[in-house]
Amino acid sequence: MTLLPLGGDPVAGEGARLLRSDDGRTFAVHVVDGSYLVSDPLCPHNKGPLVEGQVDGRVLRCPWHWYRFDLATGECLTQPALRLGVYPVRRADDGWVADVGEKPPALSMSQRLRAHARGETP
């Protein structure tokens, strides 16, 4: 389990920023109605930057093609086959943290080449 420190209490209002974990992964941190919501930073549809997206309630809209995602579940409301990675947030002794899981294992060269051929960023 990797815990991503988010800081102290979120300021009321809205906003988004990128945070990098100690293992090098990047996550989008959204402040919605005074709460932290943490997701993957890129849209699973076409890799749009989700920190630039618009949040309405707990629904995030990608700025590139307007795909909509439920920030509580990761469900894509536009294309049900897609799913956004979302991560639980909890209070810790020194502030708020998100449990972003373990870093995925390194891919072999053949796995990286197949991902590249599919247009994915390995």
Consecutive sets of 10 residues in the chain, 122 residues long: mean pLDDT of each?
Answer: 83 80 90 91 94 93 97 96 95 90 87 86 61
Residue 55 DSSP code: E
What is the rounded distance in angstroms from the CA atom of residue 37 to the CA atom of residue 7?
Answer: 13
What's the pLDDT score for residue 67? 97
What's the pLDDT score for residue 7? 81
What is the rounded distance in angstroms from the CA atom of residue 76 to the CA atom of residue 86?
Answer: 12
What's the pLDDT score for residue 10? 80
What is the rounded distance in angstroms from the CA atom of residue 69 to the CA atom of residue 61?
Answer: 6
Q: What is the CATH number of the domain that holds 27?
A: 2.102.10.10
Q: Which amino acid is at 34?
A: G
Domain boundaries, position 6: 2-118
Domain total of the chain: 1
What is the rounded distance in angstroms from the CA atom of residue 65 to the CA atom of residue 111?
Answer: 28
